[in-house]
Amino acid sequence: MDISYRGTNFNGWQIQPNGVTVQEEIEKALSTILKTEVAIVGSGRTDTGVHATQQVAHFDAKKIDREKLVFKLNSFLNEDISINGIRSVKEDASARFDATSRTYHYHLNQAKNPFKRGVSYYFRPELNVAEINAACEIIKGWQNFECFSKVHTEVNNFNCEIFQAKWVQDGSNHLFEIAGNRFLRGMVRAVVGTLIDVGLGKTSLDDFREILESNDRRKAGRAVPAEGLFLQKVVYPKDIYLD
């Protein structure tokens, strides 16, 4: 299931006791339409206020008319969630564990723009984009990203393979793109916050490298607001699809 959502009004992706989540809303819709309890598994969680251009989730169901199900789901769900398509996959396919690449975008705007409110971070100070991209080159050659992970996170390791990291400026608009095989909780927002410090001249490239070497979240920059962050793309091996 290919999904897009505006995360502003949700307490993230994953079901939790307090607060409305994207996963909960889709599961309720699926269960109502299919007249049986249906659980879905996403490619990963997104935090409160984070958006998704493409989130992917899998679910088990008996024979269905996928086009009709997409239409019914979009009629049932509110305007903040859209189901873009459903494909059949192998029985043991997992939206979470079979993903080979995830791409995130972070949007920042330096000029006040009411149409970007809630989907981009309004940040006025000028940034040295060349210096930021020099720091991005360091990221692409690194493995252990514990310094950018939320503390008390239960993971086997903090290693990530980063395929792409670049910062692009277009006038007053800025876009940070990062792609990798996996990401740690809170990692992208902490990376962006630290890159902003580099762009402001508060953190040198040597300092940036020392932060990475420290494995200490306290050494890195602040986590930037969730509103600018999008899960942009999730990629899977072609052989998991049945159509």
Q: Which sequence positions are flagged as catalytic?
A: 47
Cβ(86)–Cβ(70) below 8 Å: yes
Cβ atoms within 10 Å, residue 177: 16
Cβ(166)–Cβ(136) below 8 Å: yes
Rounded Cα–Cα distance for residues 240 and 243 (Å): 9
User: Which tokens belong to 130?
Assistant: 């060349």
User: Which of 144, 154, 133, 107 is CA-nearest to residue 6?
Assistant: 107
Cβ(190)–Cβ(223) below 8 Å: yes
Give every CB contact of residue 164 below 8 A, 6+ residues apart in sequence. Answer: 103, 140, 177, 178, 179, 180
Rounded Cα–Cα distance for residues 1 and 17 (Å): 24
In the Cβ-directed half-sphere of 7, how many Cα atoms lie within 13 Å? 27
Q: Where are the alpha helices (DSSP H) in the chain?
A: 22-34, 66-76, 129-140, 187-199, 205-214
Q: Where are the alpha helices (DSSP H) in 81-125?
A: none
User: Which tokens belong to 146?
Assistant: 């514990």
